[in-house]
Structure 1
Amino acid sequence: MSLGTFKFTTALVALALGATASLAKDRTLDIGVTDALTGGAAVYGLPQANAVQMAAEEINAAGGIKVGDDVYKLNVIAYDDKANPTEASNAVRKLIDRDGVKYILGFCCSGATGAVASFISNEDAVMLVGNAAERSITTQGIENLVRTRPPADYTGAAAGKFVAGKGHKRVAVLGALEVGFYASYVDAFEAELNAAGGEIITKELFALKDRDMTPQLTKIRGMEPDAILVVGYVEPAAFVYRQAVELGIDVPRYGFTSGSEEQFLRVATSEQMEGVWDLRPTELTLLSATENGIAYHENYSEKFGISPSPSSPYAYDQTYALKDALEAAGTVEDTEAVAAALRDLPVPDEVVMQYLPVDGKMFDSNGQAYTSNGAFQWQDGHWVFVEDLPSDAAAYSEFLSTLD
């Protein structure tokens, strides 16, 4: 796959709907993707872009999107934003101003997503956010924006309860704490840990490009924690897990990272990963997947020659949500009507993630969707779903509505 800007063009499928559909016109609808296709964040962004491409091809092969008397086949135009706010803003401007795109998907990372969210309300467009987890993205009252992944602190509180329930009282944190959504995860985690009588004994930082964590881990080892919490992108987190073993730190390791087995095994061995927990939304993992999730994993693996990342279906689900909203609104031109239809949408049958509807709808009044939260553990070379974490979508939605 070429780097930088690239374009996914899905094959047009001949329409054969019989005499009753003879008046329908076969049209093309361009949709945009902006995501991290290169660089460190590509572990999240490239799988999301792939997922949109695959969903679009599935929708086209099934007959397209029926809007009024017309049937639309999707054409996906994707740009690499490198998880950079300026690059993301420029990519969206190109999609809207040059390519005439009204529906923009992807958005794996919060910094880039926040930059686009700051101006998208002024555009004749709809923004569908995937993996980016910064809470403020859906607290600003942006009517033409929805997000499939829940905010980080929604999961952090559940993780804190889980770790406290394991009896841990002295937890050391190591992570990308200068990144807002990781910090909010830890804040919510800490509040629940403190409520149960535990404490965070230190908060050590790493940058997203750091690879040698031995100074921080050596300090942590000397403080004798009874558990470690790691928050950050897949690659630096994998180095932490590996180097903790190399330094002889023999305490439970918990994380908030997401990432597939293949992504972690590029850095650490399976033996070094053994027993690590990942406390995150219940994303795609075969042993926790629905029938849709298992089919998604198989189809993605066959198409792209690699297993999908656990968070990639956020973008796949966006595409099907957009399809249903366009059909419900009966228009591709009126973005306000389509945005309203998204807010009124039940969970589509085709989605992969396990959403918790609020008032029967996929997205709440903030444009926010919620999944269940899960505890996953590395066992014998695989992420294994162990149990659900406490998740009260309705209560969190009410809380989110109080913020601005």
Structure 2
Amino acid sequence: MRSMSRRMLLAAAMLGSSLTGALAQDKTPVKLGAIEILTGPNSRYGIAIQRGFDLALADINKAGGVLGGRPLALAYEDSAGAKEQALNAARKLIGRDKVPLILGPTLSNEMFAAGPVANERKVPIVGTSTTANGITAIGPYVFRTSLPESDVIPVTLKTAQTKFGIKRVAVMYGNDDAFTKSAYDVMKASLEKLGIETLTTETFGSKDSDFSAQLTKIKALNPDAIVLSALVEAASGIELQARQLGIPDKVFFIGGNGLNSPKLGDIAGKAADGTLVGSPWFIGKPDAANQAFVNAFKDKYGGDQPDQFAAQAYDTLFIVAKAIDAAGAPDSEKIKDALIKVKHTGVMGPFSFSDTRDPADTSGVVVLVMKGGKFQLLQ
């Protein structure tokens, strides 16, 4: 009970209002839409995001909801990682459910399909995990709370260069996904800027499972590290096959945001040890809000630990709730105008939007290393 009370106080503080105990005549739920990958190989991301939303939803509603006492509700649509399905989900949520705001979709590919629909219909859409270049350029109704890869990857590569002295790398990336291709573009530019030599660039498709040809070529070149832009399923297979083919542990992987999931360790095991990723969040952050979130997440989900995607989703729902309160009504246009002004301090730290509707503060990137199947702060 003591833990629950503390969480409720933190939730009320996050919302920045004294909603608890507020009375209002209108108790109709304010229903928002959420498009996430809930089935299929990339559901590891979408389910983590859904769990973060659901935990925040419970905390917000226990603290009094929005608009002086109206409960918040979420209508989920499963995109299954398919652009067409994400597009249809956006049309359904806007046309049938009349939601004033959409959360998601999970992947940048999906946002490039669904974002234009939301923008055309003048319904704000907020990505919590879409990190490709050009997301918010879709239009003025498209926001994101996730740091773009262009802010994270350069920090990761610079850290690898400074700490481990990497000079020669091989690069691998998925060439049929907007997110992994965009991350590769950032990697390429960052490597050139840092003066790190790229020995070879190898590509693969999102449905590929055999990477032996690419890895055999890379092994013969003896790079210091392998720079990898992939989603977690492919990344796990690549790391496992690299070790099976005899690429030594000293040749570690440096990943983009797709590798930033505990599932990498779950699937690849020891083969993933030494992998470096950049992140705007770390589970071991000692502040009270973060530790309350981590403990509540583990309590609710049978001991499972949250990842960056769950943390970003958790904070995002509080940000949206604040915008709804500031708007004074579940009105899309008013919420859009309020969102850009929201300031929030949550489990990710202080947050506000820039004038491009991206995160304004990009200084909080940390570099994590996988050891024993779990990410730790790189010391």
What TM-score, normalized to structure 2? 0.87
**Structure 2 Cα separation of the partners of residues 282 and 130 of structure 1:** 12
Provide the secondary structure at the position in 1 that maps to 2:28. Answer: strand
Residues 16, 132 of structure 1: CA spacing in aligned structure 2 closer, same or farther, 3 A cutoff?
closer
The residue that corresponds to 1:252 in the other structure is 252
Number of corresponding residues: 354
The residue that corresponds to 1:113 in the other structure is 111
Provide the secondary structure at the position in 2 that maps to 1:26. Answer: coil
Any conservation in 1 of the 2:145–2:358 contact (CA below 8 Å)? Answer: yes
Trace 1:181-330 onto structure 2 (pairs within 5 A).
Answer: 181-250=179-248, 251-256=251-256, 257-261=258-262, 263-269=263-269, 271-278=270-277, 280-283=278-281, 285-288=282-285, 290-305=287-302, 306-330=304-328
**Structure 1 Cα separation of the partners of residues 272 and 152 of structure 2:** 22
How far does residue 23 in structure 1 lie from its aligned partner after superposition? 5.4
Q: Of the candidates 365, 368, 377, which is equivalent to residue 358 of structure 2? A: 368
Following TM superposition, where does structure 1 have runs of at least 4 consecutive aligned residues deviating by more than 6 angstroms?
Answer: none
Deviations 1:346-370 (A, max 9, x none): 1x23x22235x5xxxx101111115
Trace 1:13-28 onto structure 2 (pairs within 5 A).
Answer: 17=21, 22=23, 24-28=25-29
Deviations 1:174-227 (A, max 9, x none): 221332332332333333322333211111112223222222111100112121
Tell me the percent identity. 27
Any conservation in 2 of the 1:156–1:186 contact (CA below 8 Å)? Answer: no
Residues 183, 354 of structure 1: CA spacing in aligned structure 2 closer, same or farther, 3 A cutoff?
farther
**Structure 2 Cα separation of the partners of residues 288 and 206 of structure 1:** 35
How far does residue 117 in structure 1 lie from its aligned partner after superposition? 1.2
Residues 23, 119 of structure 1: CA spacing in aligned structure 2 closer, same or farther, 3 A cutoff?
closer
**Structure 2 Cα separation of the partners of residues 104 and 53 of structure 1:** 15
Provide the secondary structure at the position in 2 that maps to 1:312. Answer: helix
Any conservation in 1 of the 2:157–2:254 contact (CA below 8 Å)? Answer: no
The residue that corresponds to 2:43 in the other structure is 42
Question: Gaps (5+ residues) in structure 2?
Answer: 1-18
Q: Please identify which structure carries the higher helix content.
A: 2
Provide the secondary structure at the position in 2 that maps to 1:328. Answer: helix
Residues 33, 289 of structure 1: CA spacing in aligned structure 2 closer, same or farther, 3 A cutoff?
farther
**Structure 2 Cα separation of the partners of residues 218 and 258 of structure 1:** 22
The residue that corresponds to 1:30 in the other structure is 31
Q: CA RMSD in A?
A: 2.1
What TM-score, normalized to structure 1? 0.82
Provide the secondary structure at the position in 2 that maps to 1:135. Answer: coil
User: Are positions 1:339 and 2:315 aligned together?
Assistant: no
Q: Single out whichever of 294-303 and 48-57 deviates more from structure 2.
A: 294-303
**Structure 1 Cα separation of the partners of residues 188 and 91 of structure 2:** 39
The residue that corresponds to 2:142 in the other structure is 145
Provide the secondary structure at the position in 2 that maps to 1:182. Answer: helix
